[in-house]
């Protein structure tokens, strides 16, 4: 954490305490972690800082649009469309969602801390899931990537117990890697990517740090499957979480896949120049709710969901989108201003990636 006196930079620098697990790059990062826990809105440290100024400038991109798009770039946009536009306009923030959580309950790592722990377990034990995990535990503690003593041990074995069955299943299903070069051209645009198959059962995307299928993961797997279909390949897309294997079915012909990919590319081009009314979590939540409640009013849903999000704000991690919108979040800052656009874009994109637009 950082202790500091108002306007006293020397005192602030002198009293900065660095911890191997929560190693903030500067005292401001520690300050925003404290703000997050207190429920206060995050500070803005960029120019222009205000969301209103950002929104007014969204029709004037600072860089030429790329006509050659990699699958990874395309996927990154759909995971974070508003943040992507901010970067294109050279809006930079020192405080964003690279922060770790300020505190964790004993034995239950979450957020970024859990992600890094699962990644380390998969990297070291993926080929030999039944190997002794003690050397890895000692290594992570020695490197400062896990808390020392019983706290780190408890965290490590809690996560290992959750992901070990999935590691065994993936290991037993492994084959020699197969590579697929995917490419699709539309007018002057070209989208391409290399995908790899490591499992006999199909294209399996391991996301073991999650228990359930998350919207951003569904986006990544759906875009990969859609591009494969448009390129003339029918690849079985699956996502392996810590708890189960999820199969993503895209029952489209090649021609249908091409049309759907063109639709997404059209939205992608819009999102490079102006704010696109799409957010992975909010859009998939609305899509699922509207399927179960066909007569639901999108404005009422946005208002109710915004209130729930505001109540949970103190318990969730801050993201760059919170900084961009001065703490209001996507629903209040974007969707509430253009509810019909949010409804249209969300339904179109989610139905395509959910396999419901045949």
pLDDT digits (tens, 9 = 90+) for 251-287: 999 999 999 999 999 999 988 888 899 999 999 999 9
- Cβ(108)–Cβ(42) under 8 Å? no
Token pair belonging to 214: 């998350």
Return mean pLDDT, the chain.
Answer: 77
Asked, as a colleague might, if the bond just before 258 is cis with ω within 30 of 0, I would say no
Residue 309 has pLDDT above 80, yes or no: no
Q: Provide the pLDDT for residue 345.
A: 96
- 155-194 in b/e form (b: 16+ CB < 10 A) is bbeebbebbbebbebbeeeeeeeeebebebeeeebebbbe
CA-atom Rg of the chain in angstroms? 22
Quote the CA–CA distance of 342 and 345 in Å, as a whole number: 5
Task: Answer whether 0.75 is exceeded by the pTM.
Answer: no
Residue 249 phi, psi (nearest 5): -100, 120
Instruction: Estimate to the nearest angstrom the gap between the alpha carbon of 223 and the chain centroid.
Output: 14
Where are the strands (E) in 232-284, listed by range?
237-241, 245-248
Portion of the chain with pLDDT greater than 70, in percent: 70
What is the per-residue pLDDT for 95? 44
Which range among 56-70, 168-182, 325-339 shows the weakest confidence by mean pLDDT?
56-70
Lowest mean pLDDT among 158-162, 313-317, 337-341: 313-317
**pLDDT per residue as tens digits for the range 222-237:** 999 999 999 999 888 9
Identify the pLDDT of residue 93. 52
Token pair recorded at residue 273: 């120049």
The confidence band for 116, taking pLDDT boundaries of 50, 70 and 90, is: confident
């Amino acid at each position: 954490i950082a202790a500091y006196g108002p306007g006293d930079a020397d005192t602030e620098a002198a009293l900065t305490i660095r911890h191997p697990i929560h190693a903030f790059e500067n005292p401001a990062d520690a300050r925003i972690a404290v703000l997050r826990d207190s429920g206060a809105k995050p500070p803005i440290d960029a120019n222009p800082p205000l969301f209103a100024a950002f929104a007014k400038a969204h029709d004037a991109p600072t860089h030429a649009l790329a006509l050659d798009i990699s699958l990874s770039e395309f996927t990154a946009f759909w995971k974070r469309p508003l943040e992507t536009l901010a970067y294109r306009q050279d809006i930079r923030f020192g405080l964003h969602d690279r922060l770790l959580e300020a505190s964790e309950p004993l034995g239950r790592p979450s957020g970024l801390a859990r992600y890094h722990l699962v990644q380390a377990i998969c990297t070291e034990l993926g080929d030999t899931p039944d190997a002794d995990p003690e050397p890895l535990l000692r290594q992570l503690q020695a490197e400062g990537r896990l808390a020392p003593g019983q706290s780190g041990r408890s965290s490590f074995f809690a996560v290992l117990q959750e992901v070990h069955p999935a590691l065994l299943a993936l290991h037993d299903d492994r084959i020699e890697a197969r590579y697929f070069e995917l490419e699709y051209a539309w007018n002057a645009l070209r989208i391409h990517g290399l995908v790899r198959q490591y499992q006999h059962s199909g294209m399996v995307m391991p996301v073991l740090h999650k228990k359930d299928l998350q919207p951003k993961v569904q986006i990544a797997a759906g875009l990969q499957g859609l591009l494969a279909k448009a390129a003339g390949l029918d690849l079985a897309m699956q996502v392996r979480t810590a708890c189960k294997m999820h199969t993503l079915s895209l029952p489209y012909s090649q021609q249908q896949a091409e049309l759907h990919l063109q639709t997404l590319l059209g939205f992608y081009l819009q999102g490079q120049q102006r704010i696109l009314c799409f957010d992975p979590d909010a859009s998939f939540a609305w899509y699922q709710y509207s399927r179960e409640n066909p007569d639901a009013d999108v404005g009422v849903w946005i208002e109710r969901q915004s209130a729930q999000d505001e109540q949970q704000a103190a318990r969730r991690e801050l993201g760059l989108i919170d900084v961009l919108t001065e703490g209001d979040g996507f629903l209040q800052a974007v969707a509430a201003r253009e509810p019909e656009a949010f409804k249209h874009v969300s339904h179109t994109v989610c139905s395509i990636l959910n396999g419901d637009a045949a």
